[in-house]
Structure 1
Amino acid sequence: MDVDPGSTVPRRQLGRYLRQQRERANVTVKAASGHLECSTQKLWRIEKGTVPVRGTDVRELCRLYGTPPDLAEVLVSLARQTKEKGWWAAHGDAVPEWFDLFLGLESAASRIRTYEPCLVPGLLQAHAYMACVIAADRPHLTEEEVRRRIEIRRQRQGLLSRHFPLPPRFDAIVSEAVLLSRPETPGALQQQLWHLVKANEIPHVSVRVLPLSGWPHRASVSGAFTILDFPSSAGGTGAEPPTVYSESLTGSLYLDRPKELDVYEQAWSALVNRALTEGDSDHMITRILEQQGGGTHV
């Protein structure tokens, strides 16, 4: 399966470069938005990479900022890419606006590191477990709406088995408590535990368990988080900076400032140091599976 990252990364790259050009030229947000005859809020969204941008608007901003012609052409080219749509666009309102950005970043990442203290990560969820999680998270959904969201998550999981571009390195650390939490659907936990063991057999996937004895640790108060790293751009515009993603009931948070990233890198290092090895994690998972009556075979 090939996965299209859509316009997410080009939008963020373009916004970052436009902001740098504006600041270099000592032009205020108010002056730049006035030049485009748009609101300051729209210019802010352009610089944050949350909206597509017209090439004509980019040319006008480059003219205002005194951007060198060769760089201006690169930015106009990026503007054309900001209108491309990812695979998830076909699912319409089943994908919240705040999650759209994450799907694009996830699809473009070269490495994904995720810590989950309460749930199996979405990219590693088996079907029955996934259905339980989605239904619990959105109890008002109809069966058809749950089915649509399951399909979206299964398409996301294709990221780990895609052929082009190469799949990202995926490192997951899950709390032992996750392995002991039994969903209401009979057999869902057993299916999920087997799924985790099989996932550890994939060369570019690592699943490690953080034992309950490993508490407290640097990430004890962080909640779940994901760190995304990106490859260098083929267009020569440089790599997208790493981004930390965390989710809540009402939205999400994206962090990419160096000091913020450093805090989460420290938290990740603490988790790595306290988590079991892949082999010991597999042993713990299979032991719990046997205790749950799941047997010793797939």
Structure 2
Amino acid sequence: MSTDNSGSTVPRRQLGRALRQLREAVPLTVVEAVAALEWSKPRLWRYETGQVPIHPNDVDVMCRAYGADTNVTEALKELARQSKAKGWWHAYSDIPEWFQLFLGMESAASRLRQYEAEVIPGLLQSPGYARAIISRGPIKGLPPDAVERRTEMRMQRQRILTRREPKAPELDVILSESALLRGFGPEVMTDQLSCLLAFSERPNVSIRVIPFSVGPHTAYQGPFVILDFPRESSARDPEPTTIYQELPTGSLYLDKAEEVETYSAIWDDLSTVALDLPASRAAIEEKIKEWSR
């Protein structure tokens, strides 16, 4: 399978945002809009947040309800056609819909900034570590073939780091020291930490460690990813920077300016307390020695 080069969720999100702006410009509340469209609130919400593709006919109905002119309507219908393209992850039928959205965003991003406190991020996991953490995940009793399939999918994700077209994204990761210590036995962890060292040699990957010695920091509420997107053309604005937080049964996406500013400030704080790249590499090497004893 080839890695999808952009992901289909970006046009979906762009379309959803445009339709929401049209609705709000009327102005129509969500209640008023669903009454006019004779739809349910969840359907409108899924469309406006880019959770699902929108058929061009539904775009036409929405544009007529919102009083959009012909040029705007046709442009948005074309965007709806683009949103029907499928990424590589659609081959994995058991991937939740909420995570499919993230995979499309991850594939389309030009830069990813990720903080993890307890585990190694999926984009940096070794097969053995991925297999172990999937087996111990929130879904209990996964059969071996399901574990292998999810492990394969996780390895497939990592191809974005080595792709040529479009340009591979920058991946900046900050890990709590606990992620290097909380593991699945010496064999798995020495292999995983060796993989971290190998990943860190790539020009587009940065891995830094926050040692326990620095004490509390501002990311105490948990892991997150900041996704930045490229400008695809002069005629289309880039996707807004988006914050992603994964939960046991779903995920949270934040892209309001004040939300992005808050998480950017948290990231800046983490950057000040994290070790620099050489010291982080030395810390990982030391943990490999500890796991090997």
Q: Which amino acid aligns with 2:200?
A: N
Distance 1:2 1:166 in 2: 13
> Does 28-37 or 47-56 show the bigger shift?
28-37
Q: Where does 1:268-279 land on structure 2 (aligned, <5 Å)?
A: 268-279=267-278
Distance 1:78 1:61 in 2: 14
Shift of 1:59: 2.0
Kept in 2: contact 1:3–1:158 (CA 8 A)? no
Helix, strand or coil: the match of 1:113? strand
Matched, 1:241 2:240: yes
1:136 matched residue in structure 2: 136
Q: Where does 1:90-169 land on structure 2 (aligned, <5 Å)?
A: 90-93=91-94, 95-137=95-137, 138-169=139-170
**Number of residue pairs matched by the alignment:** 291
1:194 matched residue in structure 2: 194
Shift of 1:146: 0.3
Shift of 1:98: 1.9
Distance 1:29 1:237 in 2: 26
Shift of 1:235: 7.4
TM-score w.r.t. the length of structure 2 is 0.93
Helix, strand or coil: the match of 2:119? coil
Q: Where does 1:188-227 land on structure 2 (aligned, <5 Å)?
A: 188-220=188-220, 222-227=221-226
Distance 1:200 1:23 in 2: 45
Kept in 1: contact 2:129–2:189 (CA 8 A)? yes
Shift of 1:56: 1.9
Helix, strand or coil: the match of 2:93? helix
Shift of 1:30: 3.8
Unaligned runs of 5+ in 2: none
> Does 35-44 or 12-21 show the bigger shift?
35-44
Q: Which amino acid aligns with 2:214?
A: G
Task: Using the aligned pairs only, state the percent identity.
Answer: 46
Kept in 2: contact 1:5–1:103 (CA 8 A)? no
Q: Which amino acid aligns with 2:227?
A: L
Kept in 1: contact 2:6–2:166 (CA 8 A)? no
Shift of 1:22: 1.4
Distance 1:123 1:239 in 2: 23
Q: CA RMSD in A?
A: 1.7
Distance 2:28 2:222 in 1: 39
Kept in 1: contact 2:223–2:245 (CA 8 A)? yes
TM-score w.r.t. the length of structure 1 is 0.92
Q: Deviations over 1:218-266 (max 9, x none)?
A: 112x211111111113372311111111112222111111222121111
Q: Which amino acid aligns with 1:231?
A: P
Q: Deviations over 1:137-180 (max 9, x none)?
A: 13310110100000110000111111111111100001111112
Shift of 1:31: 4.1
